[in-house]
Structure 1
Amino acid sequence: MAGRLREMRCELSFLKNADGSACFSQGSTCIWASCSGPGDGHASKANEEAMTLDISYRANCGDNKFSVLNNIIQSTISKAINLELFPHTTIAVTIHGIQDDGSIGAVAINGACFALLDNGMPFEAVFCGVLVVRLKDELIIDPTTKQEASSTGRVLFAVCNGADGHPEVCSMDAIGQWDFNQLEAAWSLAQPSATAIFEFYRSVMQRKHSIDEH
Protein backbone atom coordinates (compact mmCIF):
# COMPACT_ATOMS: atom_id res chain seq x y z
CA MET A 1 0.00 0.00 0.00
CA ALA A 2 1.14 3.54 -0.79
CA GLY A 3 -0.47 5.97 1.63
CA ARG A 4 1.35 9.26 1.23
CA LEU A 5 -0.43 12.41 0.10
CA ARG A 6 1.31 14.79 -2.27
CA GLU A 7 2.14 18.27 -1.01
CA MET A 8 -0.94 20.45 -0.48
CA ARG A 9 -1.09 24.21 -1.06
CA CYS A 10 -3.97 26.64 -0.70
CA GLU A 11 -4.61 30.34 -1.20
CA LEU A 12 -7.93 31.63 0.12
CA SER A 13 -9.97 34.62 -1.16
CA PHE A 14 -8.27 33.99 -4.47
CA LEU A 15 -11.06 35.39 -6.64
CA LYS A 16 -12.06 38.86 -5.48
CA ASN A 17 -15.61 38.89 -6.89
CA ALA A 18 -16.67 35.68 -5.11
CA ASP A 19 -18.06 35.42 -1.56
CA GLY A 20 -15.56 32.63 -0.92
CA SER A 21 -12.80 31.18 -3.07
CA ALA A 22 -9.67 29.07 -3.03
CA CYS A 23 -6.80 28.03 -5.25
CA PHE A 24 -5.97 24.53 -4.05
CA SER A 25 -3.44 21.98 -5.25
CA GLN A 26 -2.18 18.52 -4.41
CA GLY A 27 1.09 17.86 -6.19
CA SER A 28 0.68 19.17 -9.74
CA THR A 29 -3.13 18.89 -9.72
CA CYS A 30 -4.72 22.30 -9.23
CA ILE A 31 -8.25 23.72 -9.10
CA TRP A 32 -9.87 27.09 -8.54
CA ALA A 33 -13.07 26.99 -6.50
CA SER A 34 -15.54 29.77 -5.79
CA CYS A 35 -18.93 30.14 -4.14
CA SER A 36 -21.52 32.89 -4.21
CA GLY A 37 -24.41 33.14 -1.76
CA PRO A 38 -26.57 32.31 0.00
CA GLY A 39 -28.64 34.74 -2.01
CA ASP A 40 -31.68 35.08 -4.20
CA GLY A 41 -31.89 32.53 -6.97
CA HIS A 42 -34.16 31.85 -9.91
CA ALA A 43 -37.77 31.47 -8.80
CA SER A 44 -38.04 28.09 -10.55
CA LYS A 45 -35.26 26.69 -8.35
CA ALA A 46 -36.43 28.17 -5.04
CA ASN A 47 -37.09 25.71 -2.24
CA GLU A 48 -39.35 26.87 0.58
CA GLU A 49 -37.72 24.50 3.06
CA ALA A 50 -34.00 24.56 2.23
CA MET A 51 -31.19 26.30 0.38
CA THR A 52 -30.70 25.25 -3.23
CA LEU A 53 -27.24 24.07 -4.27
CA ASP A 54 -25.99 24.94 -7.75
CA ILE A 55 -22.83 22.86 -8.28
CA SER A 56 -20.67 23.09 -11.40
CA TYR A 57 -17.33 21.41 -12.05
CA ARG A 58 -15.56 22.52 -15.23
CA ALA A 59 -12.50 20.78 -16.63
CA ASN A 60 -9.82 22.76 -18.44
CA CYS A 61 -10.77 21.04 -21.71
CA GLY A 62 -13.53 18.92 -23.21
CA ASP A 63 -17.30 18.98 -22.70
CA ASN A 64 -18.26 21.06 -19.66
CA LYS A 65 -22.04 20.69 -19.85
CA PHE A 66 -22.07 18.19 -16.98
CA SER A 67 -19.54 16.34 -14.87
CA VAL A 68 -20.09 13.19 -12.84
CA LEU A 69 -18.25 15.01 -10.04
CA ASN A 70 -21.25 17.32 -9.61
CA ASN A 71 -23.24 14.48 -8.03
CA ILE A 72 -20.74 13.53 -5.33
CA ILE A 73 -19.95 17.18 -4.54
CA GLN A 74 -23.66 18.01 -4.27
CA SER A 75 -24.35 14.98 -2.09
CA THR A 76 -21.41 15.75 0.19
CA ILE A 77 -22.25 19.43 0.71
CA SER A 78 -25.89 18.50 1.39
CA LYS A 79 -24.73 16.34 4.29
CA ALA A 80 -22.03 18.71 5.56
CA ILE A 81 -24.17 21.88 5.75
CA ASN A 82 -27.67 22.25 7.21
CA LEU A 83 -29.44 23.57 4.13
CA GLU A 84 -32.65 24.17 6.11
CA LEU A 85 -31.01 27.20 7.75
CA PHE A 86 -31.31 29.13 4.48
CA PRO A 87 -34.72 28.46 2.82
CA HIS A 88 -35.61 30.27 -0.40
CA THR A 89 -31.93 30.97 -1.15
CA THR A 90 -29.34 29.59 -3.55
CA ILE A 91 -25.61 29.09 -3.27
CA ALA A 92 -23.52 28.51 -6.38
CA VAL A 93 -20.29 26.53 -6.09
CA THR A 94 -18.07 26.44 -9.15
CA ILE A 95 -14.86 24.44 -9.48
CA HIS A 96 -12.48 24.92 -12.41
CA GLY A 97 -9.93 22.21 -13.09
CA ILE A 98 -6.76 24.13 -13.93
CA GLN A 99 -4.24 21.29 -14.14
CA ASP A 100 -4.94 17.57 -13.84
CA ASP A 101 -2.10 15.29 -12.78
CA GLY A 102 -4.35 12.77 -11.09
CA SER A 103 -6.90 12.70 -8.23
CA ILE A 104 -8.81 15.64 -9.74
CA GLY A 105 -12.07 14.51 -8.07
CA ALA A 106 -10.56 14.53 -4.59
CA VAL A 107 -8.84 17.87 -5.24
CA ALA A 108 -12.14 19.35 -6.49
CA ILE A 109 -13.93 18.26 -3.30
CA ASN A 110 -11.18 19.72 -1.11
CA GLY A 111 -11.19 23.00 -3.03
CA ALA A 112 -14.98 23.26 -2.74
CA CYS A 113 -14.75 22.82 1.03
CA PHE A 114 -12.08 25.53 1.25
CA ALA A 115 -14.24 27.95 -0.77
CA LEU A 116 -17.19 27.34 1.57
CA LEU A 117 -14.97 27.76 4.63
CA ASP A 118 -13.66 31.01 3.17
CA ASN A 119 -17.26 32.12 2.71
CA GLY A 120 -17.99 31.49 6.41
CA MET A 121 -20.73 28.91 5.86
CA PRO A 122 -21.83 27.10 9.06
CA PHE A 123 -20.79 23.46 8.78
CA GLU A 124 -22.34 20.44 10.45
CA ALA A 125 -19.01 18.75 9.61
CA VAL A 126 -16.16 19.72 7.31
CA PHE A 127 -15.44 17.32 4.45
CA CYS A 128 -12.61 16.28 2.16
CA GLY A 129 -11.96 14.00 -0.80
CA VAL A 130 -9.54 11.06 -0.96
CA LEU A 131 -8.95 8.95 -4.08
CA VAL A 132 -7.60 5.40 -3.85
CA VAL A 133 -6.71 3.31 -6.91
CA ARG A 134 -5.82 -0.36 -7.31
CA LEU A 135 -2.65 -0.87 -9.34
CA LYS A 136 -2.07 -4.61 -9.83
CA ASP A 137 -2.26 -5.85 -6.22
CA GLU A 138 -1.32 -2.52 -4.61
CA LEU A 139 -3.57 0.25 -3.31
CA ILE A 140 -2.29 3.77 -3.95
CA ILE A 141 -3.63 6.97 -2.43
CA ASP A 142 -3.67 10.36 -4.21
CA PRO A 143 -2.47 8.83 -7.50
CA THR A 144 -0.96 10.69 -10.44
CA THR A 145 -2.53 10.63 -13.91
CA LYS A 146 -0.13 7.86 -14.97
CA GLN A 147 -1.06 5.73 -11.97
CA GLU A 148 -4.79 6.30 -12.55
CA ALA A 149 -4.47 5.33 -16.21
CA SER A 150 -2.79 2.03 -15.26
CA SER A 151 -5.21 1.20 -12.45
CA THR A 152 -7.85 -1.54 -12.51
CA GLY A 153 -10.15 0.19 -10.04
CA ARG A 154 -10.76 3.57 -8.44
CA VAL A 155 -12.74 4.63 -5.39
CA LEU A 156 -13.33 8.26 -4.48
CA PHE A 157 -14.24 8.80 -0.83
CA ALA A 158 -15.94 11.99 0.30
CA VAL A 159 -15.09 12.05 3.99
CA CYS A 160 -16.70 14.02 6.81
CA ASN A 161 -15.03 14.79 10.12
CA GLY A 162 -17.26 12.93 12.58
CA ALA A 163 -18.51 14.25 15.90
CA ASP A 164 -15.94 12.07 17.68
CA GLY A 165 -13.14 13.53 15.55
CA HIS A 166 -12.75 10.39 13.47
CA PRO A 167 -13.27 10.36 9.67
CA GLU A 168 -16.57 8.99 8.38
CA VAL A 169 -17.62 8.13 4.81
CA CYS A 170 -20.00 10.83 3.60
CA SER A 171 -20.29 9.75 -0.05
CA MET A 172 -18.45 7.29 -2.26
CA ASP A 173 -17.99 6.66 -5.99
CA ALA A 174 -16.34 3.40 -7.07
CA ILE A 175 -15.20 2.41 -10.58
CA GLY A 176 -14.19 -1.14 -11.40
CA GLN A 177 -14.84 -4.32 -9.42
CA TRP A 178 -14.30 -4.09 -5.67
CA ASP A 179 -15.17 -6.73 -3.13
CA PHE A 180 -15.90 -5.90 0.50
CA ASN A 181 -12.38 -6.68 1.74
CA GLN A 182 -10.81 -4.48 -0.95
CA LEU A 183 -13.11 -1.57 -0.13
CA GLU A 184 -12.39 -2.01 3.56
CA ALA A 185 -8.64 -1.92 2.84
CA ALA A 186 -9.07 1.19 0.68
CA TRP A 187 -11.03 2.92 3.44
CA SER A 188 -8.39 1.99 6.03
CA LEU A 189 -5.79 3.63 3.77
CA ALA A 190 -7.95 6.71 3.21
CA GLN A 191 -8.67 7.50 6.88
CA PRO A 192 -5.22 8.77 7.97
CA SER A 193 -5.01 10.79 4.75
CA ALA A 194 -8.38 12.40 5.52
CA THR A 195 -7.13 13.24 9.02
CA ALA A 196 -4.04 14.88 7.48
CA ILE A 197 -6.23 16.92 5.13
CA PHE A 198 -8.40 18.10 8.03
CA GLU A 199 -5.24 19.16 9.87
CA PHE A 200 -4.21 21.11 6.76
CA TYR A 201 -7.64 22.81 6.70
CA ARG A 202 -7.12 23.81 10.33
CA SER A 203 -3.68 25.29 9.70
CA VAL A 204 -4.86 27.28 6.66
CA MET A 205 -7.90 28.68 8.47
CA GLN A 206 -5.87 29.56 11.55
CA ARG A 207 -3.45 31.45 9.31
CA LYS A 208 -6.32 33.27 7.61
CA HIS A 209 -7.94 34.36 10.88
CA SER A 210 -4.58 35.38 12.32
CA ILE A 211 -3.99 37.64 9.31
CA ASP A 212 -7.56 39.00 9.46
CA GLU A 213 -7.17 39.90 13.14
CA HIS A 214 -4.02 41.89 12.45
Structure 2
Amino acid sequence: MVGRLREMRCEVSFLKNADGSASFSQGATCVWASCSGPGDVHASKANEEAMTLDVSYRTNCGDNKFHELNNIIQSTLSKAINLELFPHTSAAVTIHGIQDDGSIGAVALNGACFALLDNGMPFETVFCGVLVVRLKDELIVDPTAKQEAASTGRVLFSICRGSDGGPEVCSMDAIGPWDFEQLEAAWCYAQPSARAIFDFYRNVMQRKHSVDEQ
Protein backbone atom coordinates (compact mmCIF):
# COMPACT_ATOMS: atom_id res chain seq x y z
CA MET A 1 0.00 0.00 0.00
CA VAL A 2 1.10 3.55 -0.73
CA GLY A 3 -0.56 6.01 1.63
CA ARG A 4 1.34 9.26 1.63
CA LEU A 5 -0.56 12.36 0.55
CA ARG A 6 1.20 14.64 -1.88
CA GLU A 7 2.18 18.08 -0.63
CA MET A 8 -0.86 20.30 0.02
CA ARG A 9 -0.88 24.04 -0.55
CA CYS A 10 -3.68 26.54 -0.08
CA GLU A 11 -4.29 30.26 -0.39
CA VAL A 12 -7.66 31.44 0.95
CA SER A 13 -9.44 34.69 -0.01
CA PHE A 14 -7.81 34.12 -3.38
CA LEU A 15 -10.57 35.65 -5.55
CA LYS A 16 -11.49 39.15 -4.46
CA ASN A 17 -15.01 39.21 -5.93
CA ALA A 18 -16.21 36.09 -4.09
CA ASP A 19 -17.49 35.89 -0.51
CA GLY A 20 -15.13 32.98 0.06
CA SER A 21 -12.46 31.45 -2.16
CA ALA A 22 -9.39 29.26 -2.22
CA SER A 23 -6.61 28.08 -4.49
CA PHE A 24 -5.86 24.52 -3.37
CA SER A 25 -3.42 21.93 -4.67
CA GLN A 26 -2.21 18.42 -3.90
CA GLY A 27 0.97 17.75 -5.79
CA ALA A 28 0.51 19.10 -9.32
CA THR A 29 -3.31 18.89 -9.18
CA CYS A 30 -4.85 22.32 -8.58
CA VAL A 31 -8.33 23.84 -8.32
CA TRP A 32 -9.73 27.30 -7.71
CA ALA A 33 -12.92 27.31 -5.66
CA SER A 34 -15.32 30.12 -4.85
CA CYS A 35 -18.48 30.55 -2.79
CA SER A 36 -20.96 33.41 -2.98
CA GLY A 37 -23.96 33.74 -0.68
CA PRO A 38 -26.26 33.30 1.08
CA GLY A 39 -28.07 35.75 -1.17
CA ASP A 40 -31.24 36.38 -3.10
CA VAL A 41 -32.76 33.50 -5.03
CA HIS A 42 -35.20 33.48 -7.92
CA ALA A 43 -38.74 32.63 -6.83
CA SER A 44 -38.74 29.48 -8.98
CA LYS A 45 -35.77 28.08 -7.01
CA ALA A 46 -36.72 29.35 -3.55
CA ASN A 47 -37.06 26.79 -0.77
CA GLU A 48 -39.16 27.80 2.22
CA GLU A 49 -37.25 25.50 4.55
CA ALA A 50 -33.61 25.67 3.46
CA MET A 51 -30.99 27.48 1.42
CA THR A 52 -30.68 26.46 -2.23
CA LEU A 53 -27.24 25.23 -3.28
CA ASP A 54 -25.97 25.79 -6.82
CA VAL A 55 -22.87 23.61 -7.31
CA SER A 56 -20.75 23.63 -10.45
CA TYR A 57 -17.45 21.92 -11.22
CA ARG A 58 -15.81 23.27 -14.36
CA THR A 59 -12.88 21.99 -16.39
CA ASN A 60 -10.70 24.03 -18.73
CA CYS A 61 -12.43 22.54 -21.76
CA GLY A 62 -15.48 20.53 -22.76
CA ASP A 63 -19.07 20.54 -21.49
CA ASN A 64 -19.20 21.68 -17.88
CA LYS A 65 -22.96 21.71 -17.38
CA PHE A 66 -23.38 18.12 -16.25
CA HIS A 67 -19.96 17.15 -14.91
CA GLU A 68 -19.89 13.84 -13.04
CA LEU A 69 -18.30 15.44 -9.96
CA ASN A 70 -21.29 17.72 -9.40
CA ASN A 71 -23.33 14.93 -7.80
CA ILE A 72 -20.87 13.98 -5.06
CA ILE A 73 -19.99 17.62 -4.34
CA GLN A 74 -23.69 18.56 -4.13
CA SER A 75 -24.46 15.58 -1.90
CA THR A 76 -21.55 16.34 0.41
CA LEU A 77 -22.33 20.04 0.78
CA SER A 78 -26.01 19.31 1.46
CA LYS A 79 -25.00 17.12 4.41
CA ALA A 80 -22.14 19.26 5.71
CA ILE A 81 -23.78 22.72 5.72
CA ASN A 82 -26.66 23.83 7.95
CA LEU A 83 -28.92 24.86 5.09
CA GLU A 84 -31.97 25.39 7.31
CA LEU A 85 -30.52 28.57 8.80
CA PHE A 86 -31.06 30.48 5.55
CA PRO A 87 -34.42 29.64 3.91
CA HIS A 88 -35.43 31.62 0.80
CA THR A 89 -31.76 32.21 -0.10
CA SER A 90 -29.16 30.60 -2.35
CA ALA A 91 -25.43 30.04 -2.40
CA ALA A 92 -23.28 29.33 -5.45
CA VAL A 93 -20.22 27.11 -5.14
CA THR A 94 -17.97 26.90 -8.20
CA ILE A 95 -14.83 24.82 -8.56
CA HIS A 96 -12.50 25.28 -11.54
CA GLY A 97 -10.11 22.46 -12.33
CA ILE A 98 -6.89 24.30 -13.20
CA GLN A 99 -4.52 21.35 -13.54
CA ASP A 100 -5.26 17.63 -13.24
CA ASP A 101 -2.40 15.31 -12.28
CA GLY A 102 -4.68 12.80 -10.57
CA SER A 103 -7.20 12.77 -7.69
CA ILE A 104 -9.07 15.77 -9.13
CA GLY A 105 -12.34 14.77 -7.42
CA ALA A 106 -10.72 14.71 -3.98
CA VAL A 107 -8.92 17.98 -4.63
CA ALA A 108 -12.19 19.58 -5.79
CA LEU A 109 -13.91 18.57 -2.54
CA ASN A 110 -11.03 19.92 -0.45
CA GLY A 111 -10.94 23.19 -2.38
CA ALA A 112 -14.71 23.59 -1.97
CA CYS A 113 -14.42 23.10 1.79
CA PHE A 114 -11.73 25.78 2.01
CA ALA A 115 -13.89 28.23 0.04
CA LEU A 116 -16.84 27.58 2.39
CA LEU A 117 -14.63 27.98 5.47
CA ASP A 118 -13.33 31.26 4.06
CA ASN A 119 -16.93 32.34 3.47
CA GLY A 120 -17.88 31.60 7.09
CA MET A 121 -20.67 29.24 6.07
CA PRO A 122 -22.31 27.49 9.06
CA PHE A 123 -21.13 23.88 9.04
CA GLU A 124 -22.72 20.82 10.56
CA THR A 125 -19.30 19.24 10.01
CA VAL A 126 -16.26 19.87 7.85
CA PHE A 127 -15.51 17.46 5.02
CA CYS A 128 -12.71 16.37 2.72
CA GLY A 129 -12.10 14.10 -0.24
CA VAL A 130 -9.70 11.16 -0.51
CA LEU A 131 -9.23 9.05 -3.65
CA VAL A 132 -7.95 5.48 -3.36
CA VAL A 133 -7.13 3.39 -6.43
CA ARG A 134 -6.22 -0.26 -6.92
CA LEU A 135 -3.15 -0.79 -9.07
CA LYS A 136 -2.54 -4.52 -9.57
CA ASP A 137 -2.67 -5.79 -5.97
CA GLU A 138 -1.72 -2.49 -4.38
CA LEU A 139 -3.90 0.30 -2.95
CA ILE A 140 -2.69 3.84 -3.55
CA VAL A 141 -4.05 6.97 -1.89
CA ASP A 142 -3.94 10.34 -3.68
CA PRO A 143 -2.67 8.84 -6.96
CA THR A 144 -1.08 10.75 -9.80
CA ALA A 145 -2.79 10.84 -13.20
CA LYS A 146 -0.47 8.08 -14.45
CA GLN A 147 -1.32 5.83 -11.51
CA GLU A 148 -5.02 6.60 -11.82
CA ALA A 149 -5.06 5.80 -15.55
CA ALA A 150 -3.37 2.43 -14.94
CA SER A 151 -5.66 1.45 -12.04
CA THR A 152 -8.28 -1.29 -12.17
CA GLY A 153 -10.57 0.38 -9.64
CA ARG A 154 -11.13 3.80 -8.06
CA VAL A 155 -13.12 4.88 -5.04
CA LEU A 156 -13.61 8.52 -4.10
CA PHE A 157 -14.49 8.99 -0.45
CA SER A 158 -16.25 12.13 0.69
CA ILE A 159 -15.40 12.16 4.39
CA CYS A 160 -16.96 14.16 7.22
CA ARG A 161 -15.62 14.61 10.72
CA GLY A 162 -17.85 12.72 13.14
CA SER A 163 -19.07 13.78 16.58
CA ASP A 164 -16.05 12.07 18.16
CA GLY A 165 -13.68 13.92 15.83
CA GLY A 166 -12.93 10.84 13.76
CA PRO A 167 -13.60 10.47 10.02
CA GLU A 168 -16.94 9.14 8.76
CA VAL A 169 -18.08 8.36 5.21
CA CYS A 170 -20.35 11.13 3.93
CA SER A 171 -20.63 9.97 0.30
CA MET A 172 -18.77 7.53 -1.91
CA ASP A 173 -18.28 7.03 -5.65
CA ALA A 174 -16.73 3.71 -6.73
CA ILE A 175 -15.62 2.82 -10.26
CA GLY A 176 -14.60 -0.68 -11.27
CA PRO A 177 -15.09 -4.01 -9.46
CA TRP A 178 -14.80 -3.76 -5.67
CA ASP A 179 -15.85 -6.41 -3.16
CA PHE A 180 -16.71 -5.60 0.45
CA GLU A 181 -13.29 -6.53 1.83
CA GLN A 182 -11.52 -4.36 -0.73
CA LEU A 183 -13.77 -1.37 0.02
CA GLU A 184 -13.23 -1.87 3.74
CA ALA A 185 -9.46 -1.93 3.20
CA ALA A 186 -9.65 1.22 1.06
CA TRP A 187 -11.71 2.97 3.75
CA CYS A 188 -9.28 2.01 6.51
CA TYR A 189 -6.52 3.31 4.30
CA ALA A 190 -8.29 6.64 3.60
CA GLN A 191 -8.89 7.54 7.25
CA PRO A 192 -5.31 8.64 8.17
CA SER A 193 -5.27 10.82 5.05
CA ALA A 194 -8.57 12.43 6.09
CA ARG A 195 -7.14 13.22 9.51
CA ALA A 196 -4.08 14.82 7.88
CA ILE A 197 -6.33 16.96 5.65
CA PHE A 198 -8.46 18.08 8.61
CA ASP A 199 -5.25 19.09 10.44
CA PHE A 200 -4.19 21.04 7.34
CA TYR A 201 -7.57 22.85 7.32
CA ARG A 202 -7.06 23.87 10.93
CA ASN A 203 -3.53 25.13 10.37
CA VAL A 204 -4.45 27.18 7.30
CA MET A 205 -7.51 28.78 8.91
CA GLN A 206 -5.68 29.52 12.16
CA ARG A 207 -2.98 31.24 10.14
CA LYS A 208 -5.60 33.24 8.22
CA HIS A 209 -7.40 34.42 11.35
CA SER A 210 -4.20 35.26 13.18
CA VAL A 211 -3.22 37.51 10.26
CA ASP A 212 -6.70 39.07 10.11
CA GLU A 213 -6.54 39.96 13.82
CA GLN A 214 -3.22 41.79 13.52
Which category describes the TM-score, using the shorter chain as reference length? over 0.9
**Counterpart of 2:76 in structure 1: which amino acid?**
T
The Cα of 1:68 is off from its aligned counterpart by 1.0
Query: What is residue 57 of structure 1 aligned with on the other side?
Result: 57
The reply on whether 1:122 has 2:118 as its aligned counterpart is no
Alignment of 1:14-29 (within 5 A): 14-29=14-29
> How many Å separate the matches in 2 of 1:62 and 1:101?
18
Aligned equivalents of 2:122, 2:82: Cα separation in 1 = 8
| CA–CA separation in structure 2 for the residues paired with 1:2 and 1:43 | 50
1:180-200, CA deviations, whole angstroms, 9 ceiling, x for partnerless residues? 000000000000000000000
2:158 paired residue number: 158
Q: Which residue of 2 aligns with 1:148?
A: 148
Q: Distance in 2 between matches of 1:62 and 1:102?
A: 18
Question: Secondary structure, in 3 states, of the residue corresponding to 1:45?
Answer: coil
Secondary structure in structure 2 of the residue aligned to 1:163: coil
Residue 45 (structure 1) aligns with: 45
In 2, Cα distance between the equivalents of 1:126 and 1:166? Answer: 11
Stretches of structure 1 that go unaligned for 5 or more consecutive residues are none
Q: How far 1:66 moved relative to its partner?
A: 1.4
| Structure 2 match to 1:85 | 85
SS at match of 2:44: helix
Question: Identity over the aligned pairs, expressed in percent?
Answer: 85
What is the one-letter code of the residue matched to 1:161? R
Report how far residue 65 of structure 1 moved: 1.8
Aligned AA (1:58): R
Per-residue deviation, residues 122-175 of structure 1 (Å, max 9, x unmatched): 111100000000000000000000001000000000000111010000000000
The aligned counterpart of 1:185 is 185
Q: State the distance in 1 between where 2:210 and 2:118 align.
A: 14
Partner of 1:197: 197
In the alignment, what sits opposite 2:208? 208
The letter for the 2-side match of 1:67 is H
The residue type equivalent to 2:13 in the other structure is S
- AA of the residue aligned to 1:188: C
Distance 1:112 1:63 in 2: 20
- 1:167 matched to which residue of 2? 167
Write the distance in 2 (CA, Å) between the matches of 1:56 and 1:36.
12
Q: Shift in Å at residue 60 of structure 1?
A: 1.4
Specify the SS of the correspondent of 2:205: helix
1:97 aligns with 2:97: yes
User: 2: CA distance between counterparts of 1:58 and 1:171?
Assistant: 20
Q: In structure 1, what residue type is equivalent to 2:65?
A: K
Amino acid at match of 2:5: L
Aligned-partner SS, 1:195: helix
- Determine the C-alpha separation between the residues in 2 that align with 1:122 and 1:51: 12
Amino acid at match of 1:64: N
Which sits farther off after the overlay, 133-142 or 55-64?
A: 55-64
**Secondary structure of residue in 2 paired with 1:43:** coil
RMSD over aligned Cα atoms: 0.5
Matched pairs, number? 214
Aligned AA for 1:170? C
Deviation at 1:71, TM superposition (A): 0.6
Q: Normalising by the residue count of structure 2, what TM-score does the alignment of the two structures yield?
A: 0.99
Aligned amino acid, residue 71 of structure 2: N
How far apart, CA to CA, are the structure 2 residues paired with 1:8 and 1:28? 10
1:26 counterpart letter in structure 2: Q
Amino acid at match of 2:10: C
Q: What TM-score, normalized to structure 1?
A: 0.99
Which ranges of 4 or more aligned residues in structure 1 deviate by more than 4 Å? none
